[in-house]
Amino acid sequence: MKKAKIYIPAKNAMQSGLAKNNKWLLEYYTDNKNLNPLMGWETSSDTLSEVKLEFSSRDAAINYAKKNNIDYDLIEPKKRKVVKKSYAENFIK
């Protein structure tokens, strides 16, 4: 049986806010990644490596994996440390 990981993807480097950062992805692990000799790209004969399923909640993703007998690793998002700072603190030192 294939193994998958369930996680929230990291935000894009071009984003500053956290909007639309609440979807969970189920992505299959790939074992046999090869290098294409002509172009130098990574290739794989496993088509499940291209599948990424989106879910609105963590529980929905876990239920889907259990229902379809998919072994999964759950990767919890890290807590973001928020430091409140005022503009005036730039000049107090």
- Domain CATH for 41: 3.30.160
| Model pLDDT for residues 27-67, shown as the tens digit of each residue | 998 877 778 788 888 777 778 878 899 999 999 999 999 99
Whether 46 is covered by a domain: the verdict is yes
Residue whose entry in the numeric block shows the structure tokens 């889907």? 64
Per the DSSP assignment, residues forming a β-bridge with 10 are none
Three-state DSSP state, 43? strand
Which token pair is 57? 């909640």
Per the DSSP assignment, residues forming a β-bridge with 34 are 43
Whether 15 is covered by a domain: the verdict is no
**Number of folded domains that form the chain:** 1
Which token pair is 12? 């894009």
Measure the CA–CA gap between 61 and 7, rounded to whole angstroms. Answer: 9
Nearest to 33 by CA among 14, 56, 17, 50: 50
Whether 33 is covered by a domain: the verdict is yes
| Model pLDDT for residues 78-87, shown as the tens digit of each residue | 888 888 888 8
Give pLDDT, residue 50: 83
